Amino acid sequence: MAKDKTIYTCNACGGTTPRWLGKCPNCGAWNSLIESVPEAASGGKNRLSAPQGYAGLANAQPVTPLSAIEAQDVARTPSGIEELDRVLGGGVVEGGVVLIGGDPGIGKSTLLLQAMDALQRAGLPTLYVTGEESGAQVALRSRRLGIDGSQVNLLAEIQLEKILATVEATQPAVVVIDSIQTMYSDQLTSAPGSVAQVRECAAHLTRMAKGTGITVILVGHVTKEGALAGPRVLEHMVDTVLYFEGDTHSPHRLVRAIKNRFGAVNEIGVFAMTEKGLKGVSNPSAIFLSQHAEPVPGSCVMVTLEGTRPLLVEIQALVDGGGPAPRRLSVGLDKDRLAMLLAVLNRHAGVACADQDVFVNAVGGVRIGEPAADLAVMLSITSSLRGKALPKGFIAFGEVGLAGEVRPAPRGQDRLKEAAKLGFTVAVVPKANAPKKPIHGLTLHAVERVDEAMNIVRAMG
C-alpha cells in the first residue's frame, strides 16, 4: 500500500516544503515547519466564491475618484466597558473584525464575557461561540463573575460551517469566536490550529462580517515568544489587533491596540482583576507610582504617552559596585538604549559608571518604548550614584541625543498638565516643551543639554 504523501508547512508564513528543514526557506523562521497532508484539488473553484449563506463583500463597482465618494464616520456602539471602548476607539464597529491575543489565563474570555453581557443588556443580540470550553464551564464562569440572568446566546461548536449556519439563523449583532485556533472547516483535511485552517476560518468569518455588518471578535493564542500564533496574514485580514498584557501574579492587566483601522494605535486600557472579573482603572498613574513616604535615591518620575493618554511612571535605578565585567540590566526599557545613555552621561555630564553595575526598572510592569524616558533614566542613575534623592514632587522627561542635547517630546503640554493635576511641583523638561503660559503650581526648568539638567538637580539637592 502506497504511503500518503506529506508536506511540511511553516507556522510563521504558511510556506510549504516537501521535506523537513530546520529553517523555513521562505521566511527564514527556525523550527517552524510542521508535517501536514496536502489538500486535494478542488476543481479550480475558489472556496470563498461558493455561497456560504451570506452576501459577498460588494457588487462590482466602477472606477471612481476619491473626491466623488461619499464618506462618513463609522458608527460605534459602546461595549459598556469604558477602558475597552478607549482601546477600540470608542466602541465596536458594525462589520468590524477584532483579534485579541494574550497569554493563557490572563483574562481574555473573562473580559469578552463581561463585554457581551453589557452589549446584550444594551439591546444588541450577541452570540458567544466557545471551542475550548463546554457551555456549563462558561455558565459557571458567568456565575462567578456575578453575571446573573445573562441572556447572551452561547454555542459550543468548532466546525465553521455550523457556526456560519447558526449566525445566519440567529442574526446576532456581535459574535465572539473563542478561539480561532480551535475552529476547522470541512473543506480542508488538516487539523484545527494548523496554518491552513486558521487562515481559512478567519477568511470566511471576515467575509461574513463585511457582507452582513456583524461585528466579529476573534480570540487568538500566542506563542512562547509572545506573538500571535498562526500566520501573520491573520493580523492583516482583521481590522483591529489587541494584545492582552500583564503578569498573572499581578492584579493589573493592560489591553494594547497594535493595529486599528477605526481608531488610534498604541492606545491602552488598564484593568484590575477582581473576584467579580475585570474592572477598569480610571487613574492608572497610581499603579505605576511607588508610594514612598519620603523621596529615595535612584527614583525619578516621568510622564509617558500611551496613545492619547499621559501616564506617570516611576523610573528606578540602582548603581552598585561592579567587578571586571559590570552588568547593565533594564526591565521595561530598551537595554541597548541604556548603554547609550550611560555613554552620554560619561562624555557630556562627567558622570562615570564604567566600573559600576547599573540596574534600571519601570515600576508596575509597564514597558516604555518612547525615547522621552531618556532624561528621567539619566537623572535616576545620577541620583543613585550620588546617594541623594531628587526633590519631592519632581518629574522629568525628554529625549537625549548622542551629542548631549535634550530634544522635545511630543505633546509636552498634555504631559505637564497631567503632572500638575496629580500634585507634582517641579519639572525639568526640554526647552522646546516649555509652555508659553505658566502652569499653576508647577515650577519649570527648561534645559537644552544634559549637563544643564544635572547642574539644576545638583543645585536642588
Q: Report yes or no: 384 and 320 within 8 Å, Cβ to Cβ.
A: no
- For β-strands 277-280 and 268-274, DSSP reports them as antiparallel
Q: In the block, which residue shows the cell 489587533?
A: 241
Q: Report yes or no: 180 and 218 within 8 Å, Cβ to Cβ.
A: yes
Determine if residue 131 is labeled as part of a ligand binding site: no
How far is Cα 193 from Cα 81, in angstroms, rounded to an integer?
30
Determine if residue 393 is labeled as part of a ligand binding site: no
Determine if residue 109 is labeled as part of a ligand binding site: yes
- For β-strands 97-102 and 126-130, DSSP reports them as unpaired
How far is Cα 380 from Cα 167, in angstroms, rounded to an integer?
56
| 3-class secondary-structure state, position 135 | helix
User: Judging by beta carbons within 10 Å of its beta carbon (0-12, 13-18, 19+), is residue 289 exposed, middle or buried?
Assistant: middle
Determine if residue 374 is labeled as part of a ligand binding site: no
- Could you tell me the end-to-end alpha-carbon distance of the chain, in angstroms, rounded to an integer? 85
- For β-strands 240-245 and 97-102, DSSP reports them as parallel
The cell numbers describing 332, all together, are 521595561
CB atoms within 10 A of CB 146: 10
Give the list of residues 6+ apart from residue 39 with CB closer than 8 angstroms, or none.
188, 189, 190, 196
Determine if residue 105 is labeled as part of a ligand binding site: yes
Determine if residue 23 is labeled as part of a ligand binding site: no
CB atoms within 10 A of CB 5: 8
How far is Cα 334 from Cα 300, in angstroms, rounded to an integer?
17
- For β-strands 443-447 and 426-430, DSSP reports them as parallel
Backbone torsion region of residue 364, taken as left when φ is above 0, otherwise alpha when ψ lies between -120 and 50, otherwise beta: left
How far is Cα 137 from Cα 128, in angstroms, rounded to an integer?
13
Determine if residue 150 is labeled as part of a ligand binding site: no
How far is Cα 157 from Cα 134, in angstroms, rounded to an integer?
9
Determine if residue 102 is labeled as part of a ligand binding site: yes
The cell numbers describing 317, all together, are 535605578
The cell numbers describing 455, all together, are 547642574
Q: By C-alpha distance, which of 237, 238, 231, 240 is closest to 258?
A: 240
Residues annotated in a binding site for ATP:
102-109
Residues annotated in a binding site:
102-109
